Structure formats: structure tokens, C-alpha cells
Amino acid sequence: MSTQQALKQPMTVNGLDVQTAFDTIDAIKTDPTLARFQFRARNHWITGGTNRSTIRDFYGAGREDDSRESAFEFMNGEPPVLLGDNEGANPVEFLLHALAGCVTTTLVLHAAARGITIRELSTELEGDLDVRGLLGLDETVSPGYEEIRIRMKIEADCSEEALADLMTVAQAHSPVCNTVCRPVPVKIEHVTA
Amino acid sequence: MSTQQALKQPMTVNGLDVQTAFDTIDAIKTDPTLARFQFRARNHWITGGTNRSTIRDFYGAGREDDSRESAFEFMNGEPPVLLGDNEGANPVEFLLHALAGCVTTTLVLHAAARGITIRELSTELEGDLDVRGLLGLDETVSPGYEEIRIRMKIEADCSEEALADLMTVAQAHSPVCNTVCRPVPVKIEHVTA
């Protein structure tokens, strides 16, 4: 391999193109408005606890994204004990999926930036909730999760100390984890057709 | 139809079996421990911003659920502008899906309990975030959503006032909306194989 070819090889760590990541960071440092993203979802109720979302477009890095040829579609459902027929995972389970993925990606990204190779990473999540909140049976019971626990199994080419630091960084910088840990305003507006 | 047959017909409103819902509520009032649920997800990192969750078992209504013959599987991915190849929707988009579904199901459930028929219900969500938080470029920038807006289109057999009240009830009692609006503790523990 010639030096020229070697220079053209993308340097990937943990499956991420580190040069592109650093280029992105440099661009954002020059123009912070590039960091502004707006994500979107459209949802349509079907019946009972069944509804479907479509997700495709978003705004980010200064433009409307057009990289997706078709929309992602996801079905919410409920198990029989919550009056459904398992038409899909339910919304609080999708929240755990979002949280697991976000903490994982955030950790892998920060590891790559530090040159740490992750060999394996898996998580198990559990969250407790009391459906008296959902049903409005006791207004002192919060409808949402009381607590969410993440058990993380991780193997990486770094010290235990560096690994513990990575886990702290991932928790502090994960957008979904931050959205869950912090009070985020949700505004609902009634629109007419 | 005989009276006996009529009595056997489940009374469904908005696709929900209202009698079963009220029976559940009565059972919970007698034994509040039946309201305790624990939901779970397992996630495995693949590469870069790609990881897959499996969701199947949960605890609720006093027992481990066994209603699902197989696990649901969902893939997180990232668009090219966030160093991926659209292997799946990304975690912050899945969060919007979870929120849309939860507010919808909560509204439909409370409408059914009030005998209000929903004819149509769809939502559009958008959430703003600044990836300087994720990247750790500015510690004054929160990594999560700054705000999430839900535009709801809804048609129901009730007054505008009853509809506005339903929307308020849905927002206040939705488990995902409450998890987002309220600070919920997330604990990450490092486990060894």
C-alpha cells in the first residue's frame, strides 16, 4: 500500500469514521448552528392500544436531511394484561429501547474519540412503574418510570478506570438519558385539519 | 339477540374492552400491588451507531407475563450525517415514537372510560436538540431534547371542552410523557460476565 493510499483509508474505531467525526466537530466549532437538529415522528391511531409511527425526515447540520429513501415504521401495541393483543411492543418498552441504544452509541462514540476500542457491549434494562398513575387511580403515584436500571457488560482495550470514566461520560452526554433524567417540556397543541 | 347474548357481548369503546378495563381497575383497588409493572429490554451493540434490542418478558399484575411467543426486535441506527448508514431510526427518534404512542393510548383509554368515542387521532411530533451536548463541546448545552411539541388532530363524539379535558388528562397520565417531563433516575451498573 502506498502512502497516498494509506492516507485515503478512513480511520475507523468501533465502526466509526473518526476523521469524519473530528471534521464534524471542527465544523460545529466554527459554526455552532450546524449542531442544531430537529427530529420528527408522525403517528396514526389504529384501534385500542395500537398505533403506528412513521419516521423519515429531520433537520440537522444546516439542512433538511434527504438520506432516507423510505420511512421507518413502528407499531405500538399492548399485551393482553393491558387490554391489547401484542400488536407491537408497548410505548414504555420502546422508551427502554431508545435509552439502551442512546447510551450505547454515546459510549461507543466517546470511546472512538479517545482511541479506545470496544470489543463487546451489551445492556439489560429494567424500569418500574405503577399503572395506578396511568389509570388516574391515585394522583400521588407518578404515571412514569420510578427508576430505570441499566446493567452494562462491556469489554474494551483500556483500564478499568478509563472504562468507568467512559460509562460516566456516556450517561452524562446521551441525549435520551438526559431527556429522561431531566425535566423536558412537552407541549400538546390541538390542530384542526 | 336475546338478553343473555347481549350480556355476553363485550362492550368495546375505541377498540378497548371496557368491562375488562373496569374489572382490572376494581382488582387494583382491592390489591394495589397488582398495579406494579417492570418492563425490560436487552440490547446488543453491533458496530458504530448500530445496535439491536430484544423485548419480550415483563412483570405485571402479580406475575411474569408469558403472552409473547417470540421477542420483538428493533434496530437503532444513525443517518450518514451522524456517522451511520440509516441502519434503523435513531434513539431520539424512537423516543418520539414511544411518546406519540403513549399519549395516544392514554387518551384513547381515558376516552373509553368516559364513554367517548374517538373517530380519528393522529399526531405529529418534533423535538429540538443541539448535538454539542452529545459531543461534549459545550457543557452548558443539555444533550437531550430542549422541548418536544405534539400537534394532535383528533375527532371525537364529545364537546370541544371535553376534548380539551381529555388531552390534558392524556398528557398528565401518559407514562412516557411523565417520564420525559419529570426527572427520572437512571442508574448504570457495570456487570461482569
Locate B91 and state its grid cell. Answer: 434513539
Q: Chain B residues with CB inside 8 Å of A42's CB?
A: 100, 122-125
Q: How far is CA B34 from the centre of its chain?
A: 20
Q: Is the ipTM of this complex over 0.90?
A: yes
Q: Chain A residues with CB inside 8 Å of B161's CB?
A: none
The residue of B45, B99, B119 whose CB has the most chain A CBs within 10 angstroms, and thus the best one to mutate to test that interface, is: B45
Q: Chain A residues with CB inside 8 Å of B133's CB?
A: 173, 175, 178
Locate B117 and state its grid cell. Answer: 368515542
Evaluated on CA atoms A92, A97, A100, A102, the torsion sign reads negative
User: pLDDT over 90 for what percent of chain A?
Assistant: 93
DSSP letter assigned to residue B88: S
**Cα gap B7→B18, rounded to integer Å:** 13
Locate B68 and state its grid cell. Answer: 409473547
Closest CA–CA distance from residue A32 to any residue of chain B (Å) = 8
For residue range A157-175, list pLDDT tens digits in order. 999 999 999 999 999 999 9
**Cα gap A91→A145, rounded to integer Å:** 12
Of A21, A43, A191, the CB nearest to B104: A43
**Cα gap B104→B189, rounded to integer Å:** 33
Other Cβ atoms less than 10 A from the Cβ of B4: the count is: 7
Total residues belonging to chain A: 193
Look at residue A2 in the predicted model and tell me its pLDDT.
47
Look at residue B192 in the predicted model and tell me its pLDDT.
86
Instruction: Summarize the confidence of residues B119-141 as an average pLDDT.
Output: 97
| Alpha-carbon torsion, ordered B22, B26, B27, B32, to 10 deg | 120
pLDDT at B1 over 50: no
Closest CA–CA distance from residue B117 to any residue of chain A (Å) = 11
For residue range A30-70, list pLDDT tens digits in order. 999 999 999 999 999 999 999 999 999 999 999 999 999 99
Total residues belonging to chain B: 193
Residue contact B14–A180, C-beta within 8 A = no
Other Cβ atoms less than 10 A from the Cβ of A38: the count is: 15
Q: Which residue has the cell 400488536?
A: A87
Locate B151 and state its grid cell. Answer: 400537534
Locate A156 and state its grid cell. Answer: 474494551
**Cα gap B188→A73, rounded to integer Å:** 30
Q: Which residue has the cell 497516498?
A: A4
Other Cβ atoms less than 10 A from the Cβ of A100: the count is: 32
Look at residue A7 in the predicted model and tell me its pLDDT.
54
Phi-psi region of B69 (alpha: psi -120 to 50; beta: other; left: phi over 0): alpha
